[in-house]
Amino acid sequence: MYTRWFKRLTILVLLLVIAPAARPIFSDSMPTSLLIERKGKAAPGTPEQRILAAIDAIRAGQIADATATVEALLLEQPNYRLAHLLRGDLYAMRAMAIRGIGGGLDNKEVAAQLEDLRQEAFQRNQHRLNPPHVNKLPGNLLVFAPEMKHAILVDTRASRIYIYANDNGTPKYVTDFYATIGKLGFDKYKEGDQRTPLGVYFVTSHLPREQLDKTYGDKADLYGVGAWPLSYPNELDRSQGRTGHGIWLHGVPEATYARAPLASNGCVAMANPEMQKIAEYLQLGKTAVVIAPGVQWLTQDDWAKQRDRAMETVEGWRHAWAERQTSRYLNYYSDQFRSDDGQNLRTWSEQKASVNNSKDWVDIELKDLSIFAAGENGSQLVSSFEQDYRSNNLENRMKKRLYWQRDGQGWRIVWEGASNAG
């Protein structure tokens, strides 16, 4: 009898001491008198909906319901660290009042892990308070190429990844999930800086778990169910001297359901079940992944106007080139322009003026056009297309990309050349 009770006491102590970590949103102090012994009702829903329901129940003093919800969640996701931490807090409340998530665990040795989990809870709750704008459209997704079925939008500040469908050219919300980015945030510049890049990228391939196991051995567990490499560095990144490689969408280790908001080496990581769902929407070589420091939420009318302006800009460039209006054509280029073969604006201008003077006629057709916006407040446009160029002495077809930067006078091209993905 003594041995059995000793084992139970040991398990309880372990739950209080080693349960993992997180933060917001309890009341400043939760009196133990609220802990009425009754059978609670577990909240339904996704793991994220349940973890937030448990936090709400704790705040409301509905401890039995919170306990039932956490226990049901852990039966479904036994490695969900944030849920373990809440369970530890619920046990601690039986002995004392606590302040905030992780208040039942006062241990400096795990302070960093506690803060990670608190930030995860904070980001999930912020998303609930500011859900996707179902009546608005993301200004980051302007034009889908016809064969592009979906696009992925990553909001690095909000730790969120959105999936949008191509609904006859209009982005249609599908779903969204919590996501992890680089340990030191975003705007990657060099190899090893542990930041997630900002820009427009494309899913280039799929590395299933079996392949990762063969390549990385035990380290493959870092990527969970698999990895989907992105086209970082893109053409503009390379022209700006940005370095690094191996930026992927991927899962998380088996030992945890989710990672902290800032925890990867630069990749975008999701819970394994959610990464598997996202994978259903990925077309290798076609799906765009727009990584931005925030989403431009626009009314449908404002989105249509922004899309039309972007298309008119690309069409104006094409028309000026086809009509050999050299001065007007060159006005579309930035002083910081670079071409894929390293030309600056001066040498580019000289070449184009010479070429245009040698032509009797020019016809240019753009097919499979896509336009996406990245950067702060959509300050960068990326247009990709198949270019069919014909003139009296030359015919050429190529996949091409233009990177545009907004300045005080409108959009200017900062990079032009053959595309390497998408």
Residues marked active site are found at 250, 267
Q: How far apart are CA 84 and CA 113, in angstroms?
A: 13
CA distances for 306 relative to 8, 23, 143, 167, 414, angstroms: 63, 39, 10, 17, 20
- How far is residue 323 CA from its own chain's centroid? 40
| Encoded tokens for 180 | 């992890």
| Encoded tokens for 398 | 């190529």
Burial profile 91-124: b = 16 or more Cβ within 10 angstroms, e = fewer: bbbeeebbebbbbbbeeeebeebbebbbbbbbbb
**Going by DSSP bridges, is the β-strand pair 150-155/288-292 parallel, antiparallel, or unpaired?**
parallel
Is the torsion defined by CA of 30, 34, 37, 38 positive or negative? Answer: negative
**Among 419, 315, 310, which Cα is nearest to 365's?**
315
Q: How far apart are CA 236 and CA 403, in angstroms?
A: 7
